[in-house]
């Protein structure tokens, strides 16, 4: 079955601490994975996609097919990183379906 799992509902860290938001997926096809972020009172927006292998706002995410994971990492968290983060999987079917994880709320304390 196709599934995206984010095991932590809430992650609270101090400013300047490293942060890792976990994402595991289950999919028999070739995964197309994304991290989306929803800041307070803002629209849901793309943060990262695995294919571009870039760093956005200091965040990186590496696809590990062996562990079926796509964890989001940042070495030094900032207060403005506080938001809701969703891991998502595009299914390679004709229906253009995306499966979202349950989300992790990141709270960065001063």
Partner 1 sequence: DTEVTQTPKHLVMGMTNKKSLKCEQHMGHRAMYWYKQKAKKPPELMFVYSYEKLSINESVPSRFSPECPNSSLLNLHLHALQPEDSALYLCASGQGGNQPQHFGDGTRLSIL
Q: Interface residues with partner 1 (CB under 8 A)? A: 32, 34, 36, 43-46, 49, 51, 84, 86, 90, 92, 94-98, 100-103, 105
State the minimum distance, in angstroms, from the CB of residue 69 to partner 1: 18
Q: Can you give the C-alpha Rg of the chain in angstroms?
A: 14
Dist CA 94 CA 110 (whole Å): 46
> Strand, coil or helix: what is 81?
helix
Q: List the structure tokens of 26.
A: 């289950």
State the minimum distance, in angstroms, from the CB of residue 37 to partner 1: 11
State the minimum distance, in angstroms, from the CB of residue 79 to partner 1: 20
């Amino acid at each position: 079955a196709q599934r995206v799992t984010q095991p932590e509902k809430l992650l609270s860290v101090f400013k300047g601490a490293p942060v890792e938001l976990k994402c595991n997926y289950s999919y028999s096809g070739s995964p197309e994975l994304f991290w989306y972020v929803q800041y307070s009172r803002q629209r849901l927006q793309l943060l990262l996609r695995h294919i571009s292998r870039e760093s956005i706002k200091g965040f990186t995410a590496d696809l590990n097919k062996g562990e079926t994971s796509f964890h989001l990492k940042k070495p030094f968290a900032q207060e403005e990183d506080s938001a809701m983060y969703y891991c998502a999987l595009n299914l390679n079917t004709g229906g253009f379906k995306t499966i979202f994880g349950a989300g992790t709320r990141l709270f960065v304390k001063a």
